Structure formats: structure tokens, C-alpha cells
Amino acid sequence: MATIAQPLTDQSNTPKQAPLNLTDGAIAKVREIMATQDPLPAGLRIGVVGGGCSGFQYSMSFENQAGMMDKVFKFDDLKVFVDATSLMYLNGCVVDYVETLEAAGFKFENPNVKSTCGCGSSFSA
């Protein structure tokens, strides 16, 4: 089940659907990893960068503060920073954390993706 985020930059009292969502499993895993960081980061940055064999790839890193062009979303007590350019590619995306016998990691379900590479780590939109 995905947790609905509330944009911190939205001043209205009307709940809005966030363009990006994280499942409860993804939020729990990010919190677990974040707790091991020293100093404790302010939140998680999710973005799309050029590269990979299909043109774009996802990036995730911890961040100490929002940038000037960032949108900030809050999933329970987890802040997620997304730059304006990445937000265009992440609209409607759901981030999950998946563990199988073969591998474990974050999985992006993105409706904007037209094709992915053979290894699954990059995409074209």
C-alpha cells in the first residue's frame, strides 16, 4: 500500500495527490538506512539523471536540506526532495522496496517509461 504524501510547499488545506508515492515498505527501508547515517540526514532525494543504456536512470541519495528548485513531499515523518526537472519524469511513479531470493532493492513503477534497458536500471521516456 502506498502512503499518500502531502506537499510541504502547499499552503492550502485541500489534500492533494502527490505526483510521486512511496510504499510503506520503501518508507520503512529508507528510515532504516537513514538511521545508520551520521549525521542524520534531513531527508531523501529522488531524481532522474541522464545516463544508463536507455537515456535516463533513477537516483536516490540522502540530503541535508532542500535546494532552491526542489519540491518537498512528506511521507509520514520522511521528507522527500525532488527537483523540478525530475518531477516531470516521476509524475505518477510509485517507489517500492522489494526483497526476493535473488535480490533486494528499490523498484520504480513509472507510467511515463516507454522502454527500459535489458538490465532494468535505465529507461527512456
Domain CATH number, residue 79: 2.60.300.12
pLDDT tens digit string along 46-102?
999 887 676 788 999 999 999 999 999 999 899 999 999 999 999 999 999 999 998
Residue 107 maps to a domain: yes
Contacts of range 99-107, beta carbons closer than 8 Å, 24 or more positions apart: 106/26, 106/29, 106/58, 106/60
Residue 45 maps to a domain: yes
pLDDT of residue 64: 94
Residue 46 maps to a domain: yes
d(CA 94, CA 68): 24
Considering only residues 20 and 11, tell me which one the structure prediction assigns the higher pLDDT: 20
Residue 86 maps to a domain: yes
Residues 6+ apart with CB under 8 A from 7: 16, 18, 71, 72, 73, 74
Per the structure, the count of domains in the chain is: 1
Strand partners, 78: 75
pLDDT of residue 118: 59
pLDDT of residue 110: 87
* Domain limits for position 62: 2-7+18-113
Residue 104 maps to a domain: yes
